[in-house]
Amino acid sequence: MKLFFGRIPILVWFLVPTFIVLGVGVWYFTQPGADKNKDSDKPVPVARDVEGTKYFDIVGRAHITSGTPGSGFNSNPPTSGNHWPAPAKNGVYDKQLPDEQLIHNMEHGYIWVSYKPCSPTPEATASPTPGVCASDDVVKQLKGIVEADSWKMVLEPRGRDDGMIALAAWGRLLNLDNADYSKVKDFIKTYRNRGPEKTPD
């Protein structure tokens, strides 16, 4: 018996277990339900939520033709839904981007920070709740936060926001009527990179 095991090449001792481990891995990840959250109607839970953050059911994540308006959103700004194929580049914008584009960013785990501008815009006059607008100082502070670490971050003015500042992540929304920068940073830290699609950008 000892002579038999001694004749088996050492390479076989490494290859057989490797193939077994690979086979089990392939089997596990191809089973139904292996990615439990892929098409979930709820966002991935966190250990500790940021106070005031609201959760919203996921209403879709299919691609629609660029330029086509989305519909069926259940929050303002939207935190999920059918969206355009190309996400926006991370960073600070001085003009409002289409919601349908930024939903794609959130699907990739982005935080969408928007503020209600004080200058009159078509979006601001159409806002359902006029509310408080973001002063130049508030905008400057928000820009500083995003520019300090813009990975998976977009900042833009958005006249239709319900509050002065809106913080949106996949399935989550926090509206602020005052400039609570520590809460802004806490939201970013807690919910960034928690979308259903993991991307390096």
**Is a pLDDT exceeding 80 seen at residue 49?**
yes
CB 152 within 8 A of CB 100: no
CA–CA separation, 77 and 83 (whole Å): 13
User: According to the model, what pLDDT value does residue 2 have?
Assistant: 53
113 forms beta bridges with 155, 167
Residues contacting residue 93 through CB under 8 Å, at least 6 positions apart? 154, 155, 156, 157
156 forms beta bridges with 114
Of the ranges 90-99, 119-128, 151-160, which one carries the lowest mean pLDDT score?
119-128
Mean pLDDT of 29-57: 75
**Is a pLDDT exceeding 60 seen at residue 193?**
yes
User: According to the model, what pLDDT value does residue 8 have?
Assistant: 63
CA–CA separation, 2 and 82 (whole Å): 65
**Is a pLDDT exceeding 80 seen at residue 38?**
no
- What's the pLDDT band for 23 if we cut at 50, 70, 90? low
H runs (alpha helix) in the chain: 2-7, 10-29, 99-107, 122-125, 136-148, 181-191
Mean pLDDT of 87-113: 97
Burial class (CB in 10 A: 0-12, 13-18, 19+), 12: exposed
User: According to the model, what pLDDT value does residue 18 have?
Assistant: 74
User: According to the model, what pLDDT value does residue 170 have?
Assistant: 98
CB 113 within 8 A of CB 146: yes
Mean pLDDT of 149-156: 98
Buried b (16+ CB within 10 A) or exposed e, 97-135: bbbbbbbbbbbbbbbbbbbbbbeebeebeebeeeebbbe
Mean pLDDT of the chain: 86
User: According to the model, what pLDDT value does residue 187 have?
Assistant: 98
Which is more confidently placed, 41 or 112? Answer: 112
Of the ranges 38-52, 100-114, 125-139, 149-163, which one carries the lowest mean pLDDT score?
125-139
